[in-house]
Amino acid sequence: MNNFNFYNTTQIVFGKGQTKQLDKLVPKNAKILITYGGGSVYTNGVMDKVKAELVKSDRKIFEFGGIEPNPRFETLMKAVAICRDKKIDFLLAVGGGSVMDGTKFIAVAAVADEYIGKEEELLKFGFAGTPIENPLPLATVATLPATGSEMNSGAVITNGEDKLPFFNSKNFPRFSILDPEFTYTLPPKQVANGVIDTFVHTVEQYVTYPVDARFQDRTSEGILQTLFEIGAKTVNEPADYDARANLVWCSTMALNGLIGSGVPQDWSVHMIGHELTALYGLDHAQSLAIVLPAMWRFRQVEKSEKLIQFAERVLGITEGSDDYKINKAINMTETFFNELGAKTKLIDYGITETDVEKIIKALEKHGMTALSERGDVTLDISEQVLRMAL
Ligand code: NZQ
Ligand code: ZN
């Protein structure tokens, strides 16, 4: 097992009716900005439940709506202006990954006095993290199980055609309320997206190469088995509480640092996927469903030991040659995505051979030239993977 430094400060409050805890969890005299997206939290009643608790104490409550999927810098800057103007001291994100991520940027930019007027520069720090010591405290009421943003310190922010990782080690939500019932109103496509994003987060930290990290491997395998078990059910039967609760908890656990501690991590599928979203508007998980099968087919030799482990332990493929196990596991994964309703080829979105060069140029611009657990996915390999995904 590799050395690691596991740090996570988010309190998780999970289950039906847990918004009732909000009055206890949010400081009594807070000047709070509630952030949300395009309005789903108003139509499904989540916002009413949130506010009903917050008004129980003497808080000043402000709102900022309109954070779009793949949150944009210029939108978030409008919320930053409100924070400065109203002297907001607590942020509550009510929504999916985009709202939670956007709120993490707001938390940093609102206090980054040395960056006033040049906040775009905060997007240049990438995975290294912004050097802002005390971002505004934030918390979340999560409504879409997918990104893990409710229990990590990361975000992804879009600026023009750039979709950029945004980190700050102090940006862990203080708490996150995870009520699976709040996710019942998600359209089937978004639930499928959540299953696929959670799946790909898990395998980016598991299907690499072995380092004898047994707890991490078996926890990842537990998440993947759960997703195979409940994936289709929770897409087709949205109000089945237990299936949905299992998805919600798997999503959170897949990207809160636990399964990634002490193991090699890949993330090449995500980095290529981000370019597809930025250039062609695919949903985050739609992009992953295309890139993952092609990446595995192309790199099956480098990933052979863990692909065989995945085939045997997660999918129960114990007969046949190693090649047979690997290919069957990849095919079963692609079929799983298809059965959830996701497409797995670029052409399904009208992206053709002539687009490949543009995607590769974007990867180059963003420094994504040595991806994967071994840093061996060069631009040339990314190009071949994209061609395989056509
Ligand atoms: O905007 P509203 O009206 O709320 O509608 C949203 C949005 O249209 C809707 N929705 C959310 N909860 C709902 C609901 N509709 C009905 N009922 C509900 N309960 O769903 C749509 C998509 O929402 P969004 O937040 O964009 O989806 P998701 O949670 O998949 O987040 C995607 C973003 O997260 C980033 C992605 O790149 C993308 O920008 N990621 C963040 C990560 C992180 N912070 O660690 C890691 C991920 O790999 C990912 O990159
Ligand atoms: Zn993801």
CA dist., res. 328 & res. 166, Å (int): 36
> Residue 119: what residue type?
E
Decide: 69 in ligand 1 pocket, CB within 6 A. Answer: yes
C-beta separation of 120 from 92 below 8 A:
no
Residues 360 and 252 in one domain: yes
Strand order in the sheet with 11-14: 11-14, 175-178, 138-142, 90-95, 31-35, 60-64
Decide: 156 in ligand 1 pocket, CB within 6 A. Answer: yes
User: Which two structure tokens, joined as six digits, stand for 105?
Assistant: 């940027």
Residues 178 and 112 in one domain: yes
Q: How many CB atoms lie within 10 A of CB 14?
A: 14
User: Which two structure tokens, joined as six digits, stand for 63?
Assistant: 């709102």
pLDDT of residue 177: 98
* Structural domain includes residue 5: no
**Last residue of some domain: 182, 205, 239?**
182
Decide: 143 in ligand 1 pocket, CB within 6 A. Answer: yes
**Chain mean position to CA 247:** 14
Residues 37 and 167 in one domain: yes
**Chain mean position to CA 359:** 21
CATH number at residue 163: 3.40.50.1970
Closest C-alpha residue for ligand 1 atom 29? 97
User: Which two structure tokens, joined as six digits, stand for 72?
Assistant: 């944009």
CA dist., res. 27 & res. 171, Å (int): 17
Residues 193 and 316 in one domain: yes
Residues 171 and 273 in one domain: no
pLDDT, tens digit only, all 390 positions of the chain: 999 999 999 999 999 999 999 999 999 999 999 999 999 999 999 999 999 999 999 999 999 999 999 999 999 999 999 999 999 999 999 999 999 999 999 999 999 999 999 999 999 999 999 999 999 999 999 999 999 999 999 999 999 999 999 999 999 999 999 999 999 999 999 999 999 999 999 999 999 999 999 999 999 999 999 999 999 999 999 999 999 999 999 999 999 999 999 999 999 999 999 999 999 999 999 999 999 999 999 999 999 999 999 999 999 999 999 999 999 999 999 999 999 999 999 999 999 999 999 999 999 999 999 999 999 999 999 999 999 999
Domain that holds residue 352: 188-388
Q: Ligand nearest 146 Cα, by number?
A: 1
> Residue 120: what residue type?
E
Decide: 155 in ligand 1 pocket, CB within 6 A. Answer: yes
Decide: 284 in ligand 1 pocket, CB within 6 A. Answer: yes
Q: Ligand nearest 149 Cα, by number?
A: 1
Residues 66 and 21 in one domain: yes
Residues 194 and 169 in one domain: no
Closest C-alpha residue for ligand 1 atom 50? 156
Q: Ligand nearest 98 Cα, by number?
A: 1
* Structural domain includes residue 45: yes
pLDDT of residue 65: 98
User: Which two structure tokens, joined as six digits, stand for 262?
Assistant: 């002490």
**Last residue of some domain: 141, 162, 182?**
182
In a 13 Å sphere around the CA of 98, the CA atoms on its Cβ side amount to 22
The minimum-distance atom of ligand 1 relative to the CA of 152 is: 45
DSSP state of 206: T
CATH number at residue 198: 1.20.1090.10
User: Which two structure tokens, joined as six digits, stand for 219?
Assistant: 């926890």
Residues 269 and 328 in one domain: yes
CA dist., res. 10 & res. 55, Å (int): 24
pLDDT of residue 145: 98
pLDDT of residue 342: 98
Query: How many angstroms separate the alpha carbon of residue 79 from the centre of ligand 2?
Result: 25
Helix axes 214-236 and 241-254, enclosed angle (nearest 10): 140
* Structural domain includes residue 239: yes
Residues 210 and 154 in one domain: no
Query: How many angstroms separate the alpha carbon of residue 69 from the centre of ligand 1?
Result: 6
* Structural domain includes residue 1: no
C-beta separation of 282 from 355 below 8 A:
no
Please choose, from the candidates 216, 207, 237, the residue with its C-alpha nearest in 3D space to the C-alpha of residue 315.
Answer: 207
Decide: 97 in ligand 1 pocket, CB within 6 A. Answer: yes
**Phi/psi of residue 255, nearest 5 degrees:** -140, 45
CA dist., res. 384 & res. 376, Å (int): 13
* Structural domain includes residue 4: no
Residues 93 and 237 in one domain: no
* Structural domain includes residue 100: yes
**Last residue of some domain: 182, 211, 232?**
182
> Residue 149: what residue type?
S
In a 13 Å sphere around the CA of 220, the CA atoms on its Cβ side amount to 27
DSSP secondary structure of 24-50: HHS-TT-EEEEE--SSHHHHTSHHHHH
Decide: 132 in ligand 1 pocket, CB within 6 A. Answer: no
Number of domains in the chain: 2
pLDDT of residue 60: 98
Q: Ligand nearest 147 Cα, by number?
A: 1
Residues 155 and 220 in one domain: no
CA dist., res. 131 & res. 190, Å (int): 34
Residues 230 and 93 in one domain: no
Could you tell which of 101, 193, 272 is best to mutate to test the pocket of ligand 1, judged by most ligand atoms within 8 Å of the CB?
Answer: 101
The minimum-distance atom of ligand 1 relative to the CA of 104 is: 44
* Structural domain includes residue 247: yes
C-beta separation of 271 from 365 below 8 A:
no
pLDDT of residue 317: 98
